[in-house]
Amino acid sequence: MPNDLAARALSADEATTRADYFDANLTQPIPNGVLAGGQTNHFVLAGAHPAQIDPEAKLSYKDELVGGFEWEAVPNTTLGAASALAPRAYPW
């Protein structure tokens, strides 16, 4: 799992995904349970709890070899290639 995904998934970093208001100045929030705009859930949080990770989870790769190159053909333009060789740690 990439570090940025791990940091988000494994932490309880709250973010608001939805907050509905009656007015354009955002001073009168619509309480949950009130039917407005075809919705009754008007305040939704994301990431309120850390993700649950299976304790039996295994790494998909034990070893990985990565290589690549980039070449600046003309100013502000690059041409590159990369490859990764990663044998499966668990072949099933």
Q: How many domains does the chain divide into?
A: 1
Q: Judge whether 12 and 50 are in contact, CB under 8 Å.
A: yes
pLDDT digits (tens, 9 = 90+) for 4-23: 677 767 776 777 888 899 99
Is 79 part of any domain? yes
pLDDT tens per residue across span 37-85: 898 988 888 777 777 778 887 766 667 788 999 999 888 899 999 988 8
Asked if the structure places residue 90 within a domain, the reply is no
Task: Assess if residue 91 is contained within a domain.
Answer: no
Q: Which domain holds residue 30?
A: 3-85
- 8, burial (CB in 10 Å: exposed 0-12, middle 13-18, buried 19+): middle
The answer to the question of residue 81 being in a domain is yes
- pLDDT for residue 27: 92
Q: Residue 91 — very low, low, confident or very high, per pLDDT cuts 50/70/90?
A: low
Please give the pLDDT value at position 30.
93
